[in-house]
Amino acid sequence: MERSRWERSRSTNDEDPPMHDVFGAIYAADDRFSAALIEIAREFSPRLAIHSAREVVLDLAGLTRLFGKTQTIAEELRRTAAARGVQVRVAIAGTRTAAQILVRHRAGLTVIAPGAEADALAPLPLDLLVDLFPTPPSPRLRRAGAPNDPNDPNDPNVLVRTLKQWGLRTLGALAALPSDELVARLGQPAGRWQRVARGEDPLPLVPSVPEERFEQALDLEWPIEGLEPLSFVLSRLLDPLSAHLERRDRGAAVLHVRLHLVTREVHERSLQLPIAMREARTLRTLILLDLESHPPPAAIDRVVVAVDPTPGRVVQFSLLTRPVPSPEQVSTLMARLQALMGETRCGSPVVVDSWEPGAFAMKPFTPVETASPVLRSGGLVASLRRFRIPIIAHVQAEGGKPARVLTDRRELPGGRVESCAGPWRTSGQWWLDDARERHDGTREMWDRDEWDVTLADGGTYRIFRERRAGKWFVEGVVD
């Protein structure tokens, strides 16, 4: 691939002494040429700042070694743009602020020698400060939807109005005022606008980084079927992709896999990763385990792997907390379990807003570091150790209260009820016509009375009676 003009100039003139700072501004006549304008600018310099769809500022330091004079650089910029059908203005100066002001005010080519920026800007009108550097409203006013504060010192309209009342009309007049006295009367914002009128740069150039695509693709000579040959293809794609992420200090937040089939269909899968990761082996394993549960319906002739990048994570271990498995290990384990048990059957349980007994939902499992143990003082906290399948019980009632509880389990023989509390009656889902049967033989709808009973053996249990079926169950043990 042909190198840019900047790269050729740097490679052939690395021994030359440093030159003055040179900045160029390109201004297009139409927003439609935004992409072409940026492409032209990158051919001349890798350091550029995109200010709008029409305006790009370039750092041209070093190009004088290739072209000689700055006038030649400006002519070459305009000639390259014209060859691609883009009409542009070009201004070159020793500061990017001066180049920006001049390119908007003057048509054609404008070249200012380094050090002459203030003289070139002096005859220009003060209104250029408003047109070139508008100040947005403050966050407080923006939230309230109110107009700009007419006395806001950061608003260039306020400054220009005040200076015109003083009888000033040009940037040169503003630049010539004593800086200390101007700041004393109008505040620090006035000093910043005066430096702009003199063509001074308030901040260094911050280059616009081109948008990078973290994607790898491979066209296969022969279609493949099965996960084993696909594993070798994924290795070829993920190794350079992982290296690219490492160079940019990025990690994969979402992993996209597109398999182009011989049937002209595209089998696409997206994996939401629990944490930013970029290890090629782990990413390949996650893809293969996902495709094991969702295999493509036909042979594959093209494979594309892409990621949504996110800043890389910073790992800081602690000597005071218990170590947890790495996210790569946990993600691989969860992918294997999901391939074996199903995606909705693996994860972390969370409580749902429902009175249904035992109701919970599953969320993706993510290990968290546990805090250091803290000694607590106070009373004991009771908890219910619930049986995932309630145990069928035989209950003898006296006076409407359970008096004896018996089961066919050896570890839970039951016995006489010493004390009890209840009943607590709950019901729900009775409005569903297609209620399904649950693992304990009951329906999704429930209508039951719950009791907490303490038996003669000293154990406390939660029992309940299904009112529709008239059956008793032991739901759990109170610890």
- Which whole number is the average pLDDT over 277-297? 87
Helix (H, G, I), strand (E, B) or coil at 360: strand
Residues of the chain with CATH 3.30.70.270: 5-121
Residues of the chain with CATH 3.30.1490.100: 215-311
Burial 439-458 (b: 16+ CB within 10 A, else e): ebebbebbbbbbbbbebeee
Class of domain 5-121: alpha beta
Q: Residues of the chain with pLDDT > 70: what percent?
A: 81
How confident is the prediction for the chain on average, in pLDDT? 78
Tell me which of 3.40.50.10740, 3.30.1490.100, 3.40.50.720, 1.20.990.10 is the CATH number of domain 215-311.
Answer: 3.30.1490.100
pLDDT band at 126 (very low <50, low <70, confident <90, very high): confident
Cβ(159)–Cβ(190) below 8 Å: yes
CA 81 – CA 88 distance, rounded (Å): 7
Tokens of 446: 């429930």
Q: With 50 as the cut, is the pLDDT of residue 115 above it?
A: yes
Indicate the helix (H) or strand (E) that contains 97: helix 96-105
- Which whole number is the average pLDDT over 48-77? 81
Name the least confident of 10-24, 50-64, 301-315: 10-24
pTM for this model (two decimals)? 0.48
Question: Which residue, chain included where needed, has tokens 């892409």?
Answer: 306
- Residue 258: φ, ψ to 5°: -120, 120
pLDDT tens digit sequence for 378-410 = 555 667 788 878 888 888 888 888 888 888 888
pLDDT tens digit sequence for 218-266 = 999 899 988 889 999 999 999 999 999 888 888 888 899 999 999 999 9
Q: What is the pLDDT of residue 164?
A: 86
Any residues with CB less than 8 A from the CB of 15 and at least 6 apart, and which?
none
CA 317 – CA 399 distance, rounded (Å): 61
Cα separation values, 463 from 10, 31, 83, 297, 445, Å: 83, 73, 86, 50, 18
Question: Which residue, chain included where needed, has tokens 């009373």?
Answer: 379
Q: Which residue has the higher pLDDT, 305 or 387?
A: 305
Looking at residue 443, what DSSP letter applies?
A: B
Tokens of 415: 């016995």
In DSSP terms, 462 is beta-bridged to: 452, 476
- Which whole number is the average pLDDT over 100-118? 86
Tokens of 178: 């004593």
